[in-house]
Structure 1
């Protein structure tokens, strides 16, 4: 059963909004709704703590919502009939879903007076699917974006209301790009709130045949293929770092987490891919194809990021050690090409 109560609706304002959210992007949207004079957030739906802790980039929405006097429903499945009934009783003008990993069903989509608006961290129809910012960075792309759309039952297929381009700079990580993506989402929502609340928001249908669909990523896909150019390895690491599970190399069958690398420079030392060339004051230098790069933060499995040089000294990592090569079929799988190979056991 739902644990949150429905607030009294003795005097219904014109902008009743329900926010459904789970990860960091939702924080900026909640802040925007709280400061907008056009709306009254009447409920925030967010996963229970135990479920939220399993999400990469999870955000605490319950705290700021409760501090603002907004009822909070901790629920992971918004399509349950009890949750749909709860939302219907709130008589919302608009539902805003952001940072939510599950599709909204038809029953819930039909509840708000002017529909459900959602966001996707790409310039749709490009990069539908999971982890679009992570995929964009690890593929070496320099631009991503955020798309605001009116949700339909499909995955990232709703009519587009607005889009904003977001740059990806050489030293950006998934976290810094997602911060800009979140700000773009909040800005778009505030800009279009008047039209959304009257059902007059601009909408541009997507071409179902256009764009691409990204595969779902798993933590095991973070393994580093050192037999790639240094820039590609750098992109790989910064795409998967905190708050995500992280990139890693395999050393004597164990994961060594690689959290940050310095952007490669010209004429770096060379060696066999995966070979530890040096432990310098600034980090651990590891060879890649055609050069090398400096790992500046690393750790053992299950440990937080630490300065690479000091961690290497404690762990006994010395020049001459070599990270394991990645089999070709695994290298294809982690890039989104082909099924998971059977030999993936880490």
Structure 2
């Protein structure tokens, strides 16, 4: 008899890991996912669509603690519960419905970067490596025993989106590698030493505000960490908001300038001076007004700044 599972999933990791379960012969009896928010930039794959293609029932409860969801999971009689980038913590009594355990795929090398948006935090903090971890679910987030991990590199100019693509592949590889042992009851359950790790909370668009007085490497890490399709690192000049969508940290001394920290334009190029005097070359600058973003040229930027400082 095939092992039965209830899968809580969203985003690209949810799509790929659901497909791994199906490829490995797991009977997915129910998929629990989220309704896409109309206010969110949906740049990722649809778990609901994959489930529909395979004829798997899908529910999208607003509250994972609801009696209706509990009844649906109970009716599915799962051997396993899996969570693949589902955005809510699952209550312990719900996890207990899985006769053979409940497991989550997390986008870091636990115990490092427990909590929310681990890929963005890793890039922001200048890490050179992250990865994916399959672990047992517990009352605390990302705190259960570790079954398997796969590391991926973070290169100096990688954006969070590029690292997330690597992490998605790492998640797929991790699940594919350990799933046979898990289904056979032979998977390792290694300690997840929280004292050696770290926990980070969620991030808001406002957290992308750039402080140009900080060292250039810190500013560049922020730009990479929230670059599109995330909301983007931004700066306000007068009433005008600019989003730094693509940039590159210049080598020390590449741009000699006594200009103050902030955005500047010269020789038909936009660049930024940071608090340590080092410069960042801006390769794509967007102007945001009334919720709309448009790419601006260096000349367009100069005109906007002039208008902002000298209103008619």
Alignment match, 1:193: 179
Q: Secondary structure at the match of 1:241?
A: coil
CA distance in 1, matches of 2:190, 2:294: 43
Measure how far apart 1:199 and its partner are: 3.3
Are the aligned partners of 2:249 and 2:279 in contact in 1 as well (CA < 8 Å)?
no
Alignment match, 1:22: 10
Measure how far apart 1:195 and its partner are: 2.2
The reply to whether residue 39 of structure 1 matches residue 39 of structure 2 is no
Alignment match, 2:64: 78
Are the aligned partners of 1:25 and 1:99 in contact in 2 as well (CA < 8 Å)?
yes
Q: What count of residue pairs does the alignment treat as equivalent?
A: 304
Aligned-residue RMSD, C-alpha: 2.5
- Name stretches of at least 5 consecutive residues in structure 2 with no aligned partner: none
Alignment match, 1:50: 37
Q: Secondary structure at the match of 1:183?
A: helix
CA distance in 1, matches of 2:136, 2:158: 30
- Name stretches of at least 5 consecutive residues in structure 1 with no aligned partner: 1-12, 323-346
Alignment match, 1:295: 282
Alignment match, 2:238: 252
Are the aligned partners of 2:158 and 2:224 in contact in 1 as well (CA < 8 Å)?
yes
Measure how far apart 1:178 and its partner are: 0.8
**Further displaced range: 55-64 or 165-174:** 55-64
Pairing of 1:153-232 with structure 2 (within 5 A): 153-232=139-218
TM-score, normalised on structure 2?
Answer: 0.88
Deviations 1:101-123 (A, max 9, x none): 22110121011121111022121
Measure how far apart 1:305 and its partner are: 6.4
Measure how far apart 1:315 and its partner are: 7.6
Deviations 1:202-254 (A, max 9, x none): 11122343322213321111101111233322221110012322110111044
From the superposition, tell whether residues 314 and 127 of structure 1 become closer, same or farther in structure 2 (CA, over 3 Å): closer
From the superposition, tell whether residues 88 and 135 of structure 1 become closer, same or farther in structure 2 (CA, over 3 Å): same
Are the aligned partners of 2:31 and 2:59 in contact in 1 as well (CA < 8 Å)?
yes
Deviations 1:114-145 (A, max 9, x none): 11110221211112121211111111111112
CA distance in 2, matches of 1:166, 1:14: 32
